[in-house]
Structure 1
Amino acid sequence: MPLLELPDEGNNMANAQYEKGKIVLEHSKNQVKKAGECIRKGNGDIEKAIEIIQQYRAAHLYPLMIIKNLVSKHAQKINKNALIARRLKRLPTIIDKLRRKTLDGVTPNSIAVTRMSDIGGCRVIVENRLQLLLLDSSLDKSRTTHKSKVKDYIKHPKPTGYRGIHRIYSCYDKDEAHQWKGFDIEVQLRTKLQHLWATTIEVVDLCEGRTLKTNPFESNHSWVDFFRLMSEFIADEEEFISLTPQEKNKIKTRLISLNDKLNAIEKLRSFNRLFSDKDLDLSKIKGGYVIIALKGNKIYYKVYTTLQKHLAIEAYSVVEKDEDANGLFVEMDDLRKLSYAYPNYLIDTRFFIDKYELYTSTKYWEKHR
């Protein structure tokens, strides 16, 4: 879960933060690997295995702070307003990645938890293509004891359409010995539009119960295709690629068809209304599910406990059959997580909707750049 960074208030606070983050790994890497296998196969002492994974995750905090500070210095030189965030991967996400059938849609998943390079993650969001390339170049030239390798999803986008540049830092790799030698930290570099695309996917995942981000190979292929095509248009707008008018019109036609099938844009509008509605106060609800229906200019909702999931599903089916309503089935934990992870503008899907309308409703894309 990304945390927005605030300026340090003096060296004492910075030093205290460093000391608090110095959690040393209590187990060998082999023990951590075995714990991951225990969780993958679902046998052995699962509770103990999870405890080991949690401690391994916590031990990433210090190298994560070190890499975040390294990247921040370079980012500030290029854009003082660059958004810099960091997070430790959530335990349920780690477990899901271990148990997933495949990570690439082809080969069986056999990843060891000790080979997960994104347990500690740092993200930098800059304004545009030029700033992104300048930041990547600056980091390339950086003199540091941390070894890095680059995964360039600009030149080679993921099958989902994800674009950005990832740098994997192997901490203190050039030191002979260090308590955090070999810990991997992933740094994601994105433009604002690339980040808009990625966070809109996360909103759909949480509100629609999809796995577009974490497990696209077993998700709804129409949603995956919708976002992949939007990514093509965004990449063209930012001049990472150049689409011909014929290619643009073909993508435009397919996007409209997918939107008709998914009701995607109306759902995004509904999500935005949900998060911006001040009368919808769900803060006192501790758990369970909420069915939300957006009909006309009004929002209706009903809350169910965890034990009433079957009733919640039945209620959602009724809402879905109403052609005049947009329905949402939301787990309360997910709603709170989303509100915390993406405060204010990051939940606002209007910018993504604006892009869709630009790409499908104007003659702009029929012109040569």
Structure 2
Amino acid sequence: MQYTGGDIKRLGKRLRDSKGKHISDEDLDLLQAHRLSFTEPLFRVFKDLTQHKTRVERSAIIAFRLKRISTIINKTIRKPKMQLNRMWDVAGIRIIFNNEAAVRKMLSNIRDNYEVRGEIRDRFNNPKKIGYRAIHVYITEPESGKVIEVQLRTRETHNWATLVEITDVLYGTRLKEEGYDSNEEWGKFHQLVSSNRELEEDEANFLYKTLDKHDFISRLADTFRNNTSTVKKQWQNVHHKDKYFLIELSSDSVPKLSSYSDYEKAETDYFKAYKEDEGALIVLTSINKPSFEQISIAYANYILSYHKFIKDVQEILKELAVEKLENHNFKEFRKIFRLYEDIQANNIINILIERDDVTVKIEGELLRLESQSKISTKKRKEIKKQINAGIRGLINKHVYFMNEVNGVSKTLPIWALQTKSFLNKHEKRVDKRLKSIELKFDKN
């Protein structure tokens, strides 16, 4: 399709005027053509930056995507002064490093090798109010002159960003697009979660009360538990030559993962899926040397089978529980401890997320492992050994926490018998649940 910059500028105005409704097929086709014009430049930059990131940190995750059609439309509406033909993040590459030092080194490499357009947005030094931290840099692809956005994140800041998007999915908020002020309760919650300092007691209390009010951990864990087996089975159908992934998240939060070796076919399917359901969350991406673990981290907000937050928040709850017990606030202590117990049980399932080769079914106190391919006896022993080591790690952390709790409970007044009884029963139940896990393979 032939078009000019003026055509795209006028398209942006029509999209803005439409408020995202009743967009003509002709305008959608033109928007898709504009998106696809970034494909080859994006491929070239992605290949080059993959080499650069490998020299900085071999294990860093690098992925690319063309901006979703719905997101482009929403951005033209949200930012009425922005011209569509000057939207610089239609094509984007995201690189996730282990630490900020690697992020800074990669930024230096980019500045040395590319023409940087506009201002470098350093959200590590100047985070958004809601807590977003990353570096966004816009570079010119030399051959085409197209502008490509590069996002540099650490694993920690990326985990936070995907948690914001998961909250949007589960609770219908618009935190990613509209920020802190769109929902002050959830805005403050994510602001605290993003903090790299130790929380004050009132802040930890707010975090806990928000979790409790919205039943956040249970909703998160139930969603992950329901999706883990489903998505892993889909992943096991991925061919070793496939490097493009279409992820569709339906209204019931169940993801559909399709893989492709042909990018054109993947884009055709993306455009078809969008037109069938314009409100669906659909992303098409490519990951260098993809694995299930990498795609689960890079697109946790679409895969919805694992998130590090569940482990991180458990440490905050432990400290808060001990404080409540020391202050004789037994009712709050018991509520926090129940939440801790729920997280501890769910962490068992998360141990399996690192494996691409097995899926899990939960049958009472039995974890039944399944595989679509034949697994040797030696491999089965290795898998069981690794999983059991993870479970032992959970037990050891639980025992350490309970020693601290029991140390405080010994000083409780005689009239606190209800709380002492509560602790005895819950400690036995958690301990029993962890120690009684049995692993069994289905025959294949």
- Alignment partner of 1:63: what SS? helix
1:39 has 2:24 as partner = no
1:171 is matched with: 141
Structure 1: stretches of 5+ with no match in the other structure: 1-24, 104-108, 173-177, 237-242, 293-330
2:212 is matched with: 260
Q: Residue 188 of structure 1: CA displacement?
A: 0.5
Task: Find 2:120's aligned residue among 142, 147, 150.
Answer: 150
**Which structure dedicates a bigger proportion of its chain to helix?**
2
- Alignment partner of 1:362: what SS? helix
1:17 is matched with: none
Q: What's the RMSD between the two structures over aligned residues?
A: 3.7
Task: Find 1:59's aligned residue among 31, 37, 40.
Answer: 37
For normalisation by structure 1, the TM-score amounts to 0.64
1:214 is matched with: 177
1:185 has 2:138 as partner = no
2:54 is matched with: 76
Structure 2: stretches of 5+ with no match in the other structure: 235-247, 255-276, 288-293, 324-444
Does the CA contact (< 8 Å) of 2:115 and 2:139 recur in 1?
Answer: no
Alignment partners' CA distance in 1, 2:187 and 2:90 = 25
Alignment partners' CA distance in 1, 2:52 and 2:253 = 45
Q: Residue 73 of structure 1: CA displacement?
A: 2.1
Does the CA contact (< 8 Å) of 1:89 and 1:121 recur in 2?
Answer: yes
Does the CA contact (< 8 Å) of 1:271 and 1:349 recur in 2?
Answer: no
Identity of aligned residues (%): 25
For normalisation by structure 2, the TM-score amounts to 0.54
Alignment partners' CA distance in 1, 2:307 and 2:140 = 38
Task: Find 2:318's aligned residue among 357, 361, 369.
Answer: 361
* Cα distance, 1:45–1:276 mapped onto 2, change above 3 Å: closer
2:6 is matched with: 30
Alignment of structure 1 residues 115-126 onto 2, 5 Å: 115-126=86-97
More deviation in 201-210 or 54-63? Answer: 201-210
Letter in 2 for 1:40: R
Letter in 1 for 2:43: M
Letter in 2 for 1:354: K
Does the CA contact (< 8 Å) of 2:136 and 2:152 recur in 1?
Answer: yes
- Alignment partner of 2:148: what SS? strand
**1:154-183 deviations in whole A, cap 9, x for unaligned?**
1111222111111111333xxxxx6x22x2
- Alignment partner of 2:94: what SS? strand
Name the larger-Rg structure.
2
Alignment partners' CA distance in 2, 1:80 and 1:149 = 28
* Cα distance, 1:279–1:121 mapped onto 2, change above 3 Å: closer
Alignment of structure 1 residues 1-369 onto 2, 5 Å: 26-42=2-18, 46-100=24-78, 109-140=80-111, 142-144=112-114, 147=117, 149-172=119-142, 180-181=144-145, 183-216=146-179, 219-232=182-195, 236=196, 243=197, 248-278=200-230, 290=252, 334=280, 343-344=295-296, 346=300, 347-362=304-319
More deviation in 156-165 or 334-343? Answer: 334-343
Does the CA contact (< 8 Å) of 1:226 and 1:258 recur in 2?
Answer: yes
- Alignment partner of 1:186: what SS? strand
Letter in 2 for 1:255: L
Q: Residue 218 of structure 1: CA displacement?
A: 7.2
**1:327-353 deviations in whole A, cap 9, x for unaligned?**
xxxx99847769999844533444111
User: How many aligned residue pairs are there?
Assistant: 273
Does the CA contact (< 8 Å) of 1:200 and 1:349 recur in 2?
Answer: no
